Amino acid sequence: MGDIFDGTGCVWRDKYIAVDWGTTNRRAWLVDRNGTTVDRFADHLGLMTVSPGGFDKAAADIRLKLGDHPMLLAGMVGSDKGWRNVPYVPVPADLPSLAAAILWIDARTGIIPGICQTGSCPDVMRGEEMQALGALANGDAAPDALVCHPGTHAKWIRLQHSKITQFSTMMTGEIFSLIRDHSILAAQLADEVTDGASFEAGLQEACNGASLLSSLFAIRARKLLRQKPSANASFASGLLIGSDVHTGLSNARPGEMVAIIGRSDLSQLYASAIRKAGFDHKIIDGDKSFLSGIGSITQILEPQ
């Protein structure tokens, strides 16, 4: 199965289903010929809840909910933990190169690959590329934009001449979770992260080039020294996001505007960090970008 189809025998311009299927969540949209979403749903049936061999049925369920239409899927569903392990497309990558490398489950069901970077900075991505290239396709991002995609594994994506030419993953969100859930600091990190004075103090410290390894321990020292309570989770988040943004912006051009695509709470925190570092930013809607990317691919598959 797979690879004996190429998706060209299928009509995309009537209605199609777009699916962003990740590790913990699944979101699906039914899109009509005008690019308008006419139905949609989201649930928590991410990869982790699907047993091996269970993807055919899980995907059929999507059609039961949204109708029996052609379907394109992107995200971790194309990983070694997903429906099929779809080989990565190497950078430089754009929507046509992704479309050409779709893995077809059948003539009307395709999984769009992620992209990779080999050489001295090996890196991989599945899902964020669709948002970045979709934002490019609908004009929200410029052909040479620097895109920041906050998250568990944050991505900094360089667009050049309308292709993704380089990207870098930061384990910012995961390291924050590890520290909050499992470290000696855990009990001091119960506050909700907000963009206030403590977050800014963390940003400032990261911006001054302080070492994460030592700055984090100050949270424990302040407690033991009975210094006045601080919003420590916000401080730690500021340290980590500040360090992330400091590195990410090292690829920015002077005065460049950074395009932020991601969860709205995280996007606001990253926006604050990017502003503090002296750069402008633009927050771009992730769902709109994703749907623009998928829509562009249907037009590549079936030129009007």
Site residues (CB under 8 A) for its own copies, limited to 221-250? 221-222, 224-225, 227, 240, 243-244, 246-247
- For residue 218, give the nearest of 227, 197, 242, 175 by alpha carbon: 227
Cβ closer to its own copies: 169 or 272? Answer: 169
Per the CB < 8 A criterion, the answer to whether 93 and 129 are in contact is yes
Q: Which string of b and e fits 36-61 if b means at least 16 CB within 10 Å?
A: eeeebeeeebbbeebeeeebeebbee
Tell me how far, at minimum, the Cβ of 269 lies from its own copies, in Å. Answer: 15
Cβ closer to its own copies: 28 or 86? Answer: 86
Confirm or reject binding of residue 14 to its own copies (CB under 8 A): no
Confirm or reject binding of residue 38 to its own copies (CB under 8 A): no
Confirm or reject binding of residue 300 to its own copies (CB under 8 A): no
Tell me how far, at minimum, the Cβ of 235 lies from its own copies, in Å. Answer: 12
Tell me how far, at minimum, the Cβ of 265 lies from its own copies, in Å. Answer: 19
- Per-residue tokens: 123: 């890196």
Per the CB < 8 A criterion, the answer to whether 242 and 278 are in contact is no
Confirm or reject binding of residue 18 to its own copies (CB under 8 A): no
Site residues (CB under 8 A) for its own copies, limited to 128-167? 153-154
Cβ closer to its own copies: 39 or 123? Answer: 123
Residue 147, number of CB atoms within 10 A of its CB:
28
Tell me how far, at minimum, the Cβ of 111 lies from its own copies, in Å. Answer: 16
Taken in order 282, 288, 291, 296, the sign of the CA dihedral is negative
Confirm or reject binding of residue 174 to its own copies (CB under 8 A): yes
Listing DSSP states for 254-266 in one string gives: TTPEEEEES-HHH
- Per-residue tokens: 74: 């992107």
Tell me how far, at minimum, the Cβ of 275 lies from its own copies, in Å. Answer: 20
Residue 159 vs residues 57, 120, 166, 255: alpha-carbon distances, Å: 37, 19, 7, 16
Binding stretches for its own copies (CB under 8 A): 79-80, 88, 116-118, 121-124, 153-154, 168-172, 174-175, 178-179, 181-184, 211-214, 216-218, 220-222, 224-225, 227, 240, 243-244, 246-247
